Structure 1
């Protein structure tokens, strides 16, 4: 398989896994446990029946090479789950609260800034607001939604007032919501 085709195939499989392991396992009749884990053998079988044939080697390769480390295998390699980003309320990743860095970043599109100024950051369909430790990642995230804007989150100040933060297996920081008073908005140059 050519490199470009290989990359597109991996991206297609990654999107499929995101759908199944984050949002809609019932699409292929897959069951997730309370911590979001799915049985690998069952995933392979049901994906094939659904028209997305996967091999264990392909699955391992997609997990290992995913640029955002969206997925993780259990220590014994028999189960797989999404590292974060679930919309399923029944999934609890069992992450322990952690002390965040002083600041974290959130990438969004410029068209959402007015709403965020009024209501802060809310998780929308997901369970948590996603934050990063670096500006480059936030820019990449914001670019997916339009003209990117990077918001600086005063995470230490939030934490000091009792807001909980979690760090997913892939390094993404999660919190329930970010009130607007903890967000530093970029200065408009318009």
Structure 2
């Protein structure tokens, strides 16, 4: 099985639908590595701990993390299932970026950036990352978010383990089309 395929499957079961594999996530999103591997192997996926470690380490966006003794694994962010990542609010830079598709622009400029089925809106510290995110959804557009102003107005920001900026909602008044 290719690393990319394993990563996509891990995203599905660790972020959105653990029941597809028959695993459970604790309140912080962790699941036992041995149980995960056992269930994957029962489904015909030839993945052992070494292969799983390789996927976690080499994932370009660092989507997954092990606990200290590598007995548990979780997705770093992007969950649509309710979990508590234990993130502490931090002060964001003055400007962050959001990558999206051209097709979403009218709605965003009118209604803001909404988390939809996820727990948070995802923002990037640089334009290049935002472009890559936007490309996944169609013709990319990069929006500039005045995160410093948002923070001063009382909006909270979090920085995930894999350096994705998270917030609950971005009002249209804080968005500029790059």
Q: Which runs of 5+ in 2 are unaligned?
A: none
- Could you say what the CA RMSD is over the residues aligned between the two structures, in angstroms? 0.9
How far apart are residue 129 of structure 1 and its match?
0.4
Matched, 1:13 2:3: no
Which residue pairs with 1:124 in the alignment?
A: 116
Q: Which runs of 5+ in 1 are unaligned?
A: 1-7
Which residue pairs with 2:70 in the alignment?
A: 77
Superposed CA offset, 1:120-164 (max 9, x none): 000111111000000000000001111100000000100011101
How far apart are residue 50 of structure 1 and its match?
2.1
1:148 to 130, 140, 143: 140
Distance 2:138 2:35 in 1: 37
1:25 to 18, 23, 37: 18
Distance 2:100 2:121 in 1: 11
1:109 to 85, 90, 101: 101
Superposed CA offset, 1:60-93 (max 9, x none): 000000000000000111100000000002x111
CA contact under 8 A between 1:44 and 1:53: conserved in structure 2? no
- 1:1-190 to 2 correspondences below 5 Å: 9-89=2-82, 91-186=83-178
Distance 1:139 1:48 in 2: 36
Distance 2:168 2:77 in 1: 13
Q: TM-score, normalised by structure 1?
A: 0.92
